[in-house]
A and B are shown apart, each in its own frame.
Chain A
Amino acid sequence: MIRIRDLQFGYPGTPFRLQIPTWEVPDAARVAIVGPSGSGKTTLLHLLAGILVPQSGQIEMGNADLTRWSDAARRDFRATQIGLVFQRFELIDYLNVAGNILLPYAINRSLRFGPAVRERMEELAKRAGIAHLLRRPVQRLSQGEQQRVAICRALINQPRWLLADEPTGNLDPENKRLIVELLHQQAEASQATLVMVTHDVSLIADFAMTVDFQAWCSVKSDASR
């Protein structure tokens, strides 16, 4: 369960204000958040992931209130419970596909690497159709392949919440459809809650919950974010 109450957030020195009185997402739900660029969708995902902390209000992920946790605790929570997919993939250029998928295990000690993780990586890659690319440098992949690698990386830690920030923003229509299908399949297989931000309304048909971000929350902004 994701539960937000009286959330208020603003970037210091900017007119941007995000205010969410209340919002709840049940476990294993599929949620699409739509809205124009700069309306604060990414900010919400970063708040859910514990990357940002609100000025006031509560963000409960499961039974834990993220706003009461230390930086280190939120970092560990992010590493172990959250899977993040970015619009620009944000793969590490000097690692190959396998290295990128296993990246969370190299940067946080809460995650323990072992043979089971390697098997899971191979299984994820197989499901994403990139099992034959594991040794390949990521710059030599197509954009669709790169986003699949990013999705596998988001799922390698078996997250309870999969947060995808416009994961189809840089893809052609065919790849958009494939990636959204893949996200659904992987979330289904992992029993994870999928929260996907997009400004492409054609993609929201498969989502059980849709949030019109601009209408649903209060943003006093010059749309600079």
Chain B
Amino acid sequence: MTAWTLVRAHLTFHWRRTTVLIGCLWIGCLVPLVLSQVMPEVQKQLQRRANETPVVFGSPGSSLECVLHALYFRPTQAPPLLYGDWQSLQQAGFERCVPLHVRFSTNDYPIVGTHLEYFTYRQCQFLAGEPFGRIGDCVIGSEVARQLELNVGEFLISSPRSFLSIAADYPLQMKIVGILQPTASPDDRAVFVDLKTTWVIENLGHGHQDVSQSNDPNLVLERNEQGTVASAAVLPFTVVTEENLASFHFHGEMADFPITAMVLLDDRQRAQDLAAGVAQKNAKVQTVFAGDVIRELLSLLFQIQNVIVAVSIFVGVATLMLFGLVIGLSVQIRQQEMETLFKLGASRGLTWTLYGLEVLVIAVVALLLAGLISRLIAWFVREDLYLWFV
């Protein structure tokens, strides 16, 4: 039997009051603690992606939107670039520049049209399967595979961008040929296809049955010197197979086909030196240094963090005042009890020791809980933190 016995008995007997007090302090501490653990990790993740992708090319417009689109595959409203722009950069010596076409999605995951070099330059490893080799193949990120429970050999269907215009994007069944290893980056949540596959989805190319030899008037509208004009009754293939692969073709010049961004996956300094020249020469292409944009974004995030911390301090002070009020009222209510303890041989100091121990226990439990929960939160979201901020 010690004073501690009394403190423990009082706290457990009045467990509702104890729980509310712990809860108040816990909530007051949680937000600043979570922020202090999460923000450095957010900073690290955003900067890592920016360092891996030092330069981004996109249409003139918001540089932030351009970076978020190229690095995190966020949708963009900016007009597209042309594949010819990428070809020009290649000719200018930008060997490690990769085009991206990110307009479509499947099951809410972005479909990223690109070249095979994307995997090489990003140093992507394959968990299963291999890179895409032809139109209609796709490689999925680890999170896509996990969430949708997909394996190599299964299929994904592209989602039309608008249900009101289903003719605009023809849903294409894409065969999964590879699954990427987790990288704690947006690549985990993307479906990668060859650029031509995205152009097929965009109806710039297609495959269909051979109508050149057909005499069916429902399929053939007209034959002339340029070729055969097929009717709308000729349906394009919605899946690419060995048998129909050869029938896929594109209408128009490839250089005029759209891409939505280009990323320069080169050494940071070299990429910036190279890109500085492009920025001056080509007004149609916006050159963005991702690191600068991410730094601006981070500085904005830190300003928001400071505001949240300031608000938390105010809330914390209010909580402490209420906490003090509850303890003060408790002191009044327990006056008779403390008088009894004094009559039985306790010192006046013991009563303050009891109150002090109670406050200490409540504060320590609240802090431990807040620390534990904030650690758990930080641990659970550690790989996907960037998703909350981009």
Contact = CB atoms under 8 A, between A and B. Distances in A.
Contacts of B5: 99, 106
Contacts of A49: 343
A90 B13 CA distance: 17
Contacts of B3: 106-107
Nearest to A92: B337
Interface residues of B, number: 21
Contacts of B346: 75, 107-108
Interface of A: 46, 49, 51, 72, 75-76, 78-80, 82, 84, 86, 90, 92-95, 99, 102-108, 110-111, 113, 153
> Considering residues A49, A105, A106, A107, which has the most beta carbons from chain B within 10 angstroms of its beta carbon?
A107
A86 B340 contact: yes
A105 B1 contact: yes
Given A90-B336, A106-B1, A107-B350, A99 B344 contact: no
B347 interface: yes
Interface of B: 1-3, 5-6, 9-10, 12-14, 336-337, 340-347, 350
A107 B9 contact: no
B9 A95 contact: yes
A78 B344 contact: yes
Contact of B343 (A51, A99, A102, A111): A51
Given A90-B336, A94-B9, A95-B9, A103 B14 contact: no
A72 B343 contact: no
Contact of A78 (B1, B2, B14, B345): B345
Nearest 10 A-B pairs (CB), nearest first? A79-B345, A94-B13, A107-B346, A106-B1, A108-B345, A105-B1, A90-B340, A78-B345, A113-B1, A102-B1
Nearest to A77: B345
Contacts of B10: 94
A75 B347 contact: yes
29 contacts: A46-B343, A51-B342, A51-B343, A75-B347, A79-B345, A82-B345, A84-B344, A86-B343, A90-B336, A92-B6, A92-B337, A93-B13, A94-B13, A94-B14, A95-B9, A99-B1, A99-B5, A99-B9, A102-B1, A103-B344, A105-B1, A106-B2, A106-B3, A107-B6, A107-B341, A107-B344, A107-B345, A108-B346, A111-B345
A108 B341 CA distance: 10
A75 B346 CA distance: 7
Nearest to A111: B345
Contacts of A107: 3, 6, 341, 344-346, 350
